[in-house]
Amino acid sequence: MPQMAPMNWLVLFLLFSMIFIIFNSMNYFSFKYSSLNFKNLKSLTNKLYWKW
């Protein structure tokens, strides 16, 4: 029935949107940054100086 086609498109759009949001949130929250200490930061900045 062609009258029901837009409803199926809406359901598919919502399904794919929810899968996309869930997949991206899982990837975002599963990655853990390593914390930088002040000591490590100081050693990194010392390496940036040019020696002329």
Phi-psi region of 51 (alpha: psi -120 to 50; beta: other; left: phi over 0): beta
What pLDDT does 7 receive? 78
pLDDT over 70 at 6, yes or no: yes
Amino acid at 39: K
pLDDT over 80 at 19, yes or no: yes
Instruction: Report the percentage of the chain scoring pLDDT > 90.
Output: 31
pLDDT over 90 at 23, yes or no: yes
Look up the pTM and report it.
0.52
